[in-house]
Amino acid sequence: MRIHNMRRVVIVFVVGTALATVTAGQTAKPAPATGGNGTILDDLVVANRILANENILDGLGHVSVRSLQRPDHFFLSRDLAPGLVTAADLVEYDLDGNPVNPKAPQGYRERYLHAAIYKTRPDVNSVVHSHMPSVLPFTDVTMPLRPMYHMAAFLLPGVPVFEVRSVQGQVGMLIDNNKVGAALAQTLGKNTVALLRGHGVAIVGVSVPDAVSSAIFTDVNARAQMQAVALGGNIHYLTQADMAPPTPNQQPAAQPGTAGYYPRSWGIWKAKAMGEKR
């Protein structure tokens, strides 16, 4: 019986992957998905669970998605640990970080990080903010985070470090208002990843799966770079010569500044995070 169910699960998965690919938008302009916001919101719930399961997010950090109907709105969970988020917990915000529904439950204090990036980066449809342990060292040292392998090619254009103390009048370490959010977005510029000194990281994508993927491969890359440094000698980082020109279907040959996400991964990340039968 279980075997029969497994096959059916696999079939559903294939369809789900296809939808995810569409909603993820393999170009800067995601095609409207048949599921409408329902689909990207499903992706957002799954993304919360994936990032918790892959130890990218602990009780803190968050992931958001831009609205398809209203590009000047985005969705983010209420103030809840990502590993517990369900569809009922999602809140719609405008690009100043105000909830559309004034009766919305308490939000994350750092929702301004998301708002500011969506405001300045029309190509971005999803944002992850994380304290992942592997990047914390890079937020406090002078050595930049650099791409060790093709799946982290999105790091090639650079990984700027945001210094919160450079923002006049900002108290503490949090991105808890629009002024500090705008300063962070300016530091991020056109890059995919920005480090927050003594705090964590902001990662963007053209879609939820793309941002999730970049977050997970940033983690792998950071650990690999630390180990390579410990081995000593010169490190052969990826260079521009390793980059393939973008192709129509954006396969994972390294393309800096464009989507490095390859849809094959989402299925297994989701299956593990959601405890799906395999």
Q: Which of residues 110-129 bind a second copy (CB under 8 A)?
A: none
* Bridge partners, 107 (sequence order): 78
Q: CB within 8 A of 42, min separation 6: which ones?
A: 35, 87
Nearer to a second copy, 30 or 82 (CB): 82
| 15 near a second copy (CB under 8 A) | no
Does residue 268 touch a second copy according to CB under 8 A? yes
The distance of closest approach from Cβ of residue 109 to a second copy in the complex, given in angstroms and rounded to an integer, is 6
Cα angle 113-117-122, degrees, rounded to a multiple of 5: 160
Q: At its nearest, how many Å lie between a second copy and the CB of residue 71?
A: 29
Active site residues: 110
CA 28 remoteness from chain centre: 15
Minimum distance from residue 21 beta carbon to a second copy (Å): 12
What is the size of the binding site for a second copy (CB under 8 A)? Answer: 87
Q: Is 75 in the site for a second copy (CB under 8 A)?
A: no
**Closer CB to a second copy, 28 or 174, in the complex:** 174
Contact between 253 and a second copy by CB under 8 A: the answer reads yes
In the complex, least distance from residue 111 CB atom to a second copy, rounded to whole angstroms: 13
Q: Does 154 bind a second copy (CB under 8 A)?
A: no
Helices and strands (H, E) in the chain, number of each type: 7, 7
Is there binding between residue 188 and a second copy (CB under 8 A)?
Answer: no
Among 35, 58, 99, 123, interactor with a second copy by CB under 8 A:
58
198 touching a second copy, by CB under 8 A:
yes
Q: Which helix (H) or strand (E) holds 171?
A: none
Give every CB contact of residue 200 below 8 A, 6+ residues apart in sequence: 61, 129, 130, 131, 132, 135, 136, 139
Check binding of 50 to a second copy (CB under 8 A): no
Distance CA 17, CA 10 (A): 10
> Is-contact 221 156, C-beta < 8 A?
no
Q: How far apart are the first and last CA of the chain?
A: 13
**Does 109 help bind a second copy (rule: CB under 8 A)?**
yes
